[in-house]
Chain A
Amino acid sequence: MTMGIASDPEVSAIVAEDVRKAERTDRIVGTIQRQGALAVLIVVALIALATFPNFRSFDNAATILVAAAPPMLIALGMTFVIITGGIDLSVGSLYVLGGVLAAWASQYGILAAFALPLAVCGAIGLANGLLIAYTRMAPFIVTLAALLGARGLMRAISSEGSETYLVRDDAFRTLGNGSFLDIGYQVWLVAALVVAGMVVLARTRFGHSVYAVGGSEDAAGLMGVPVRRTKVWVYVLSGLLAGLAGAINAAKLGSGVTVLGTGMELDAIAAVVIGGTLLTGGAGTIAGTIAGVLLLGVIQNLINQVGNVNSNWQQVISGAFLALVVVAQTYLVRLRRVT
């Protein structure tokens, strides 16, 4: 079809100039938004390399990765949830619950050790999703209820948290402690899932629906996006990943430790937001989340290296960092809108 639009060369020149300017600003802002966490991670890592000889070692890098594996899984699920504009506070509880269930079920073999936590945590995620999508209750409240419920469930099956189930299955324990190319199995597993997550988010209709729902729920609905279904799925995904994170942690520790996971949901949220995902939904990447998780991990690692510093400083630094990122995000988003 031909329409003879923008045929006036003078007008098109002015338009083109405007467009170029806007595009440049947008590109720069977009890059900072997406890659900011990565840039900071690199800077911090470089400083650490120069200052702490121990940081350099391959072992230390492997340690950071192994420590970051469960938080990475939780943050992966959280990225999906937050991009839809939601929040999932239940993941810390699901993480402990998953660990306890995995340790208990390991007496029936490695498959059971995975299947049980995934089934239970997935079901709780499903309940979260259904309530949020169909009754339009606030995700904050629904998942807060799940946080309390899942923690209660965990305490109920572990005699008030005093009974620690030991992992009975050797294969399962090997998975927690063994390594391939000197990098723990669980790191490979998490890496594979992260890559899968990236493909799903960026290259499938479901992934695009996740962005659309978070970007504008009403518009998404009018454009034919299955809004409710998308919401349900992200909470199921988040629950499954939290349960899995608990399971691999139990495999590593050799038991279902009941005193973990408090505040893990908040660490995950922090990592996701530091990674450039908007807390209001609609934008974010998994690559950013990886950088966010690793950044928090590296800060923790450095504080351990310094030795005589109280480890609580890690939280102070992470907190300050988070505040900084949120302020920068707000500013960047505004900058982008104005153009």
Chain B
Amino acid sequence: MALLEVIDVSKIFPGVRALDQVSFTLQPGEVHALVGENGAGKSTLIKVLTGVYQPDGGDVRYLDQPVQFGTPMDAQRAGISTIYQEVNLVPLMSVAQNLFLGREPRRFGLIDRGRMEHQARAILTDYGVSADVRRPLGTLALGAQQMVALARAVMIDAKVVIMDEPTSSLEPREVQTLFGVIRDLHSRGIGIIYVSHRLDELYQICDAVTILRDGKLVHTGRLADLERIRLVSLMLGRDMAEVRREGATAFSGAATGDVEATPVLRVRELNSRHKLHDVTFDVRPGEVVGLGGLLGAGRSETIKAIGGAYHLDSGDIQVDGKDLRKPTPVRAVRFGVAVQPEDRKAEGIIPGLSVRENIALAVLPRLSRFGFVSDRKVDEVVDRYMKRLQIKASGPDQVVGDLSGGNQQKVLLARLLATGPKVLLLDEPTRGIDVGAKAEVQSLIDELAAEGLGVVLVSSDAEELVEGSDRVVVLRDGVVVGTLTGAQVTTEDLMSTIATEATREH
């Protein structure tokens, strides 16, 4: 008897088919990997299973009964618990209180704190958590917090546990503890849906795999029967045998970087707890260096760290020969580093302001004297970039939120360029924009490189990455696992580098 069955489930959002007739089955005691790149539909599927979204088509069957959960609480009561990446507990409350919230042991109507703490200790010992249960949960390490969340889920008689990237913030030791717990759950017949991008982990712990891409099911079956390289190619959507469609992107393909030139960006041994390990690479003027890897490999973190928006434990960054010590966003801009963040809506443009105001934001410090802004100078800059980037707006005063995704992206790029950067860090520059704008952005990147800028490009679109980059630095779990140069810069090489088995020292 299957524990949970998803049959032809679809979910449609305005303009997007987030899930398109997806089916898969979770057996009792099975650890089932759910994988796919950004936008593949994993999160949507999880949200359908946990009652956050209602499916627009298809059936979800749980314990052989058709079910439709109205809220996450309904799903939880039925026995489907989710352990989120950001721990969903109350950090200021004690560990014991978090574990028992809503089901505290009581005596004479009052909470029996002694018994509650005693039980909490006993339960958590099994999960390798030895911290004082009276401490606020938020003072525990993330791994321990996650264990508490897991213990709570199992305690409330979960039959299905969904884990969304549970290891992304764990120490290697904590990962092993988690795996111990997972094996135990497995032996007790609890079904686990395990979302992760760390291939090594998947092959260590999972029995089955379901791969989604662009909202569609591309594969489901036993994991052991699926080669790594095949898994990666299914995720990225490139059939190895498929002939490469040369020129599908607007990149020229010609290498522009001068191999002999001194690097405009030198990155040495960037380290950040759990996320980056000794990340090292160079970017020369006129060169486009791609950062390859799966989601969570550390690409965005690397870019953010160079831009001063991500915490680094150690590492050296040189821009144009000058040391960028302790980068902060302000210092990074001053050194000539411009970052286009992955989520342009949340971190990039300000939708309520006009095109002019958005572009002017970054240059205000340069264009103002004694705190006053020269309107004329701003107009010049805005006009120049609107023309150069062919921003399609009714005028500089149109509100950015009303523009198309592609034009919003161009406004963002205009703002970055207006700061006069030496290095341009682009995180998914063409995501969510239409084909025409995509081509324009791609050729713009080429042009900018040709003018001598150093460009770092992150893209989940393997084809875009390969054709846009002169070199590709491949990351996996925060480690540089290879660099593709010259003729190696192909999707096949990219995928096989990502898929190579890790020889992890820790």
Tell me whether A and B are bound partners: yes
Chain A: residues with CB nearer than 8 A to chain B?
1-6, 11-12, 15-16, 19, 22-23, 26, 30, 199, 202-205, 208-209, 211-212, 214-216, 218-225, 278, 282-283, 336-337, 339
Q: Is B2 an interface residue (CB 8 A)?
A: no
Instruction: Pick the 8 closest A-B CB pairs, nearest first.
Output: A215-B90, A5-B128, A282-B92, A203-B110, A215-B92, A219-B88, A3-B180, A283-B92
Q: Which of B76, B132, B188 has the most CB of A within 10 A?
A: B132
Alpha-carbon distance between A161 and B332 when the two chains are bound, in angstroms? 62
- Extra contacts besides A208-B111, A211-B93 (7): CB < 8 Å: A4-B180, A19-B130, A202-B111, A205-B106, A212-B93, A219-B88, A337-B139
Q: Is B259 an interface residue (CB 8 A)?
A: no
Instruction: State the total of A-B contacts with C-beta under 8 angstroms.
Output: 112
Q: Is B362 an interface residue (CB 8 A)?
A: no
Alpha-carbon distance between A98 and B119 when the two chains are bound, in angstroms? 46
Across-interface contacts of A205 in B (CB, < 8 A): 102, 104, 106, 111
Alpha-carbon distance between A221 and B98 when the two chains are bound, in angstroms? 13
Q: Is B104 a contact partner of A208 (Cβ separation < 8 A)?
A: yes
Output the nearest chain B residue to A220 by Cβ-Cβ distance. Answer: B90
B129 → chain A, closest Cβ, in Å? 9
Please provide the chain B residues from 278 to 327 with a CB less than 8 Å away from any CB of chain A in the complex.
Answer: none
Alpha-carbon distance between A205 and B102 when the two chains are bound, in angstroms? 6
Q: Is A6 a contact partner of B128 (Cβ separation < 8 A)?
A: yes
Q: Is A16 a contact partner of B130 (Cβ separation < 8 A)?
A: yes
Q: Is A225 a contact partner of B139 (Cβ separation < 8 A)?
A: no
Q: Mark B51-91, 1 if CB is under 8 A from A, else 0.
A: 00000000000000000000011001100000000001111
**Also in contact, A3 and B111, with CB within 8 A (given A26-B135, A205-B102, A222-B72):** no
B99 → chain A, closest Cβ, in Å? 10
Q: Is B111 a contact partner of A203 (Cβ separation < 8 A)?
A: yes
Q: Is A222 a contact partner of B104 (Cβ separation < 8 A)?
A: no
Q: Is B90 a contact partner of A212 (Cβ separation < 8 A)?
A: yes
Across-interface contacts of A282 in B (CB, < 8 A): 90-93
Across-interface contacts of A218 in B (CB, < 8 A): 88
B138 → chain A, closest Cβ, in Å? 6
Q: Is A208 a contact partner of B91 (Cβ separation < 8 A)?
A: no
Q: Mark B15-35, 1 if CB is under 8 A from A, else 0.
A: 000000000000000000000
Q: Mark B123-160, 1 if CB is under 8 A from A, else 0.
A: 00011101110011011000000000000100000000
**Also in contact, A3 and B184, with CB within 8 A (given A208-B104, A225-B101):** yes
Q: Is A5 a contact partner of B93 (Cβ separation < 8 A)?
A: no
Alpha-carbon distance between A222 and B47 when the two chains are bound, in angstroms? 13
Q: Mark B330-363, 1 if CB is under 8 A from A, else 0.
A: 0000000000000000000000000000000000
Q: Is A216 a contact partner of B97 (Cβ separation < 8 A)?
A: no
Q: Is B177 an interface residue (CB 8 A)?
A: yes
**Also in contact, A19 and B131, with CB within 8 A (given A208-B97, A215-B90, A219-B89):** yes
Output the nearest chain A residue to B98 by Cβ-Cβ distance. Answer: A223
Output the nearest chain A residue to B113 by Cβ-Cβ distance. Answer: A203
Q: Is B173 an interface residue (CB 8 A)?
A: yes
Q: Which of A26, A278, A337 has the most CB of B within 10 A?
A: A26
A18 → chain B, closest Cβ, in Å? 8
Q: Is A11 a contact partner of B173 (Cβ separation < 8 A)?
A: yes
